[in-house]
Amino acid sequence: MYLADQTWPELSDYVAEESLALVPLGSTEQHGPHLPLSTDHTIAEGLARETADRTGYLCTPTVNVGVSPHHKQFHGTMWVDPPEFRDYVESFSRNLAYHGIDRIVFVNAHGGNQTHLREVGRRLREDEVAYAVEWMWDESITDLVDDLFAVNGPHGGPKETAMMMHLDPENVRTDELEAARDGGASDWPLDDAFVHGARNFYDAIDNTDNGVLGDQTDATPEKGRKLFEAASDQLAQLAEWLDDRRFEDLMAKPHVEPRPGSRR
């Protein structure tokens, strides 16, 4: 069920029975010479809407701009500063809770959002408003990703390329796959990326001239379909698991005994 397509009486029927929402979040940022800036939010929305159609859970509109200042040197990249991003996501999450949604899955397809979504989830749980979890699609199917691709790459690599070949093939520049591989950093991490245990980079351009990592020529639509189906299965199972939990059991555990001040 897609929230924005419903009327308010139809949504009242949903919240009378259910209390879970899928919230897709991505970015609008460079993904090399072969993929559109829409890559992350297209993947997030595709997975969330597929899972909502399959399970009947609610899917909200997609957050298309995320925390992407580390891609700022490349044309077209948009970003939100972390504090504003966290406050925005927390605000609309509290809005969902006002309507009766107390379990939220942040369906995330952008690594730059992860830490901040976890912080929002912590805030909501601390206030006992809702239980929100951040879910990153590729982290749910790591074995499959490793099986399908010899040289993966965490950004604009073959896994994202294959997913876009499946979801939005018209916007994949297949004639640029070799250029993406040869102009980027096909082997990751680079020798000087970590120095004596310290990360020696802040921006994507510090590691890759064209903004992407991995061997994009290893991507195919068939591999993308396998990734999409496997990740959708994982997301559906997560939503069902979360829906089965009692809200009280999802909240923070009480302080150990004796509690502070109990002997005064």
Residue 80: its pLDDT value, please? 97
pLDDT classification of 105: cutoffs 50, 70, 90? very high
Enter the tokens of residue 30: 């460079």
Instruction: For 125-136, give the secondary structure using H, E and C.
Output: HHCCCCEEEEEE
Domain encompassing residue 41: 3-250
Residue 29, pLDDT > 80, answer yes
Inside any domain, residue 264? no
Of all helices (H) and strands (E), which one includes residue 157? Answer: none
Specify if 259 maps to a domain.
Answer: no
The separation between CA 200 and the C-alpha centre of its own chain, rounded to angstroms, equals 25
Count Cβ atoms within 10 A of the Cβ of residue 217 and give its class: 0-12 exposed, 13-18 middle, 19 or more buried. middle
* CATH number of domain containing 207: 3.40.50.10310
256 lies in some domain? no
| 3-class secondary-structure state, position 94 | helix
Residue 6, classified by CB atoms within 10 Å of its CB into exposed (0-12), middle (13-18) or buried (19+), is middle
How many domains, the chain? 1
Kindly state whether residue 230 falls inside one of the protein's structural domains: yes
Q: How confident is the model at residue 188 (pLDDT cuts 50, 70, 90)?
A: low
Please give the single-letter amino acid code of residue 86: R
Which residues, other chains included, contact 40 with Cβ-Cβ below 8 Å and sequence gap of 6+?
Answer: 26, 27, 28, 29, 31, 66, 109, 110, 160
Q: Does residue 108 fall inside a structural domain?
A: yes
* Residue 187 predicted with pLDDT over 80: no
Q: Residue 247 pLDDT > 70, yes or no?
A: yes
Residue 208 domain-assigned (yes or no): yes
